[in-house]
Amino acid sequence: MKLLIKNGRLVDPAAGVDRAMDLLIESGRVKEIARAIRKSPGLSLIDASGMVVAPGFIDMHVHLREPGQENKESIASGARAAVRGGFTSVACMANTEPVNDNRSVTESIIARARQVGLANIFPIAAVTRGQLGENLVEMADLIEGGAVAFSDDGHCVMKADVIRKALEYARMLDVPIIEHPEDHSISAEGQVNEGFISYKYGLRGILKAAEEVIVARDLILQERIRSKLHLTHVSTAGSVALIRNARQAKTPVSADATPHHLLLNEERVQTYDTVYKVKPPLRTEADRLELIRGLQDGTIDCIASDHAPHTRHRHGDVVPGDLRPPGAREADHDQPPGRAVFHQSRPRPGPEGPRPRQDGFAGRPDHPGPQEALQDRGGGLPLQGQQLPVPGLGGAGRSRLHHRQRQFGL
C-alpha cells in the first residue's frame, strides 16, 4: 500500500530536519521525502496542512496496569492512548499484579501487545522479586523473555547493597537499571513538597532530600560500577546538580523528568485539587526552572510521562487527597504537552534523505483533539487544557528542538 502525506511540517531532530516536506510511504516504510511529491493513481493521500509530521514518539516510563489492574488501564487502552498522542513505542513498568518479576509475565505482556497491535510495548521487569527490595530477579532469563530494562518503579530499591548487586549484574548483561529515587523513610506519608506551602496548608511534606539522597547514593555506587543507570522523574534542583556533576566526572548516568514537573510547580496544590498529587510531588518554581535548564544542557536526557492511571473513584474526585494514590496520566495523547515529549532513543544512521522508518506521527501539537481520547479510565490529568510550551511545535515562532541522541538500551 502506498500513502502520501502532503503539506505537513516534517520534524525529524535526528536528521536535523524541520521544514515543509512531503512523505511517501510504501508498505509501511518511508520511500521518499521531498519538497513536493506528485500524487499518482493508487496513492492514499493524507493532507497534513497545519500538522507536524514526525517519527513516532517514545515514552520510556508508563504504567499499563495489566496484568491485574485492568480496571485502571490495560495494554489495549494504554496503547490506544499512546498512539493517539503520537507515541508509537512505550516502555511499561513492572508494578503490575502479579509484579513483572518473572519471564511468564514479561512474555504475556509482549503477547498481549502483539495481539493489540498498536504501539510497540517494551516491558521493563522488576529489579527485585515482588518489588520487595530484597532478592534480585532472574535478570538474564527476563531479558531472554523480552525485558528491556529493570526497575522497581513505584518503589525505590532501598537497600544500597541490593542496588549495588543489581547494577553489577546489569553491567554484565548490558541492560539499564531505572531507579525511582525516593528514600521512603524520609518521604513516609508525605503528600506534597515540604516547604512554605505544606506548612501553610498543614499538609504533610516530602523533603527534596528524600529524592536527593538516593540520587547521590546511586551515583556514588555507579562511579565505580559504571553500569547503565537511569534516574527517572527527577524533580529537584539538587538532583539536577548531582547528575550534572556526575556527568562532568564521566560517571555514566541518564535521567528523565516528567511533563508535569517541567510545567507545574507546588503552588497548584493550593487548589486542593488532588489531580496535582503526584510522586515525586510538584516542587518549587526554582526546581522547575532548574529542570528546564537541565533539559537544555543535556543533564536530563528526555521527558518521560510516568503515565500512571488510577480508577476515578480512587483518584481524588471524591476522596480526600491523603487517601488518593499519587499518579498522573500524561501519556494521554490529546493533552498537548504530552506531544512535547519528543525523544528518539535510537540514533539512526545517515544524514537527511529517505530512510526506512517504522513508525511516525502526524498531528496538531497545539490542538486539544477529540475528547473521546480523554474518556478512558482514570481521572488524573494535571496538564489538561495546558497550552503546548514548545514554540517550535506550538506554532508561536521558530525554535530549535532540543534533541540528543543517547541510547537507553531500549
- Residues designated catalytic: 306
Q: Are strands 176-179 and 192-193 parallel, antiparallel or unpaired?
A: unpaired
For the chain, state the CA radius of gyration: 21
Angle of CA points 152, 158, 164, to nearest 5°: 85
Residues 374 and 384: beta-carbon distance below 8 Å: yes
Buried b (16+ CB within 10 A) or exposed e, 375-385: ebbbbbbbbee
Which neighbouring-strand residues pair with 47? 6
Strands of 87-92's sheet in order across? 57-62, 87-92, 120-125, 149-150, 176-179, 228-231, 254-257, 302-303
CB of 105 to Zn ion, least distance (A): 17
Nearest approach, Cβ of residue 180 and Zn ion (Å)? 4
Which is it for the CA torsion 249, 250, 251, 255, positive or negative?
positive
Contact window for Zn ion (CB under 5 A) among 15-23, 145-153, 185-193, 374-382: 145-153
12 or 153: CB nearest Zn ion: 153
Backbone angles phi, psi at 268, to 5 degrees: -60, -30
Cell numbers 530549535 correspond to 400
Using the minimum distance from each CB to Zn ion, give the nearer residue, 59 or 306.
Answer: 306
Q: Which CB sits closer to Zn ion, 164 or 180?
A: 180
- Nearer to Zn ion by C-beta: 30 or 282? 282
Sorted by sequence, the CB contacts under 8 Å of residue 30 that are 6+ apart come out as 23, 24, 354, 355, 356, 357, 360
Peptide bond into 356 cis (omega under 30): no
Determine if 59 is a binding residue for Zn ion (CB under 5 A).
Answer: no
What amino acid is encoded at 130 in this protein? G
One character per residue 166-205, x = contact with Zn ion (rule: CB under 5 A): --------------x-------------------------
Output the smallest distance, CB 261 to Zn ion, in A. 12
Q: How far is the CB of 322 from Zn ion (least distance, A)?
A: 19
DSSP structural state of residue 392 = H
Binding letters toward Zn ion, positions 287-316, x by CB under 5 A: -------------------x----------
Instruction: For residue 117, give Cα distances in angstroms to 113, 121, 242, 335, 343.
Output: 6, 10, 40, 23, 22
- Minimum distance from residue 324 beta carbon to Zn ion (Å): 16
Residue with cell 483518584: 315
* Residue with Cβ nearer Zn ion (194 or 306): 306
Nearest to Zn ion of 180, 329 (CB atom): 180
- Residue by residue, DSSP assigns 232-279 as -S---HHHHHHHHHHHHTT---EEEE-HHHHH--GGGGGG--GGG--S
CB of 307 to Zn ion, least distance (A): 8
Under the criterion CB under 5 A, does residue 153 sit at the interface with Zn ion? Answer: yes
CB 262 to Zn ion: min, Å: 16
| CB-based contact 61:91 (threshold 8 Å) | yes
- Sole residue written with cell 494514590: 325
* For Zn ion, the closer CB: 150 or 361: 150
* Nearest residue relative to Zn ion (C-beta): 180
What is the nearest approach in angstroms of Zn ion to the Cβ of residue 199? 26
Between residues 105 and 388, which has the closer beta carbon with respect to Zn ion?
105
- In angstroms, the CA 67 to CA 73 distance is 9
Give residues in contact with Zn ion (CB under 5 A): 153, 180, 306
